[in-house]
Amino acid sequence: MSFLHTLSHKERRMLRNVVKTVHLKHFPKQYATDYEADKLIAVIGPETVEKLLKVAIDHKIDDR
């Protein structure tokens, strides 16, 4: 089972923005969807997600 259900809506939105900006930037726009971002988040694991959330908070990703 994935740990994604433990994240709040705000955390999930921030992670999606980070993943789309950093990891899916070379994908065509129509393929850089929330679903694809969620799949990548599920694969990278909870430890990396914590680091990505810290980056999102430090760089105020949620404000964009």
- Domain ranges in the chain are 4-63
pLDDT of residue 4: 81
Q: What does the alpha-carbon distance between residue 46 and residue 36 come to, in Å, rounded to a whole number?
A: 17
Neighbouring CB atoms inside 10 A of 22's CB total: 10
Give the pLDDT confidence of 3-37 residue by residue, as tens digits: 788 889 999 999 999 999 889 999 999 999 999 99
Band of residue 64 on the pLDDT scale cut at 50, 70, 90: low
Give the pLDDT confidence of 43-60 residue by residue, as tens digits: 988 888 889 888 888 888
**pTM score:** 0.82
The pair of three-digit structure tokens given for residue 19, joined into one six-digit string? 């993943």
Distance of CA 31 to the CA centre of its chain: 15
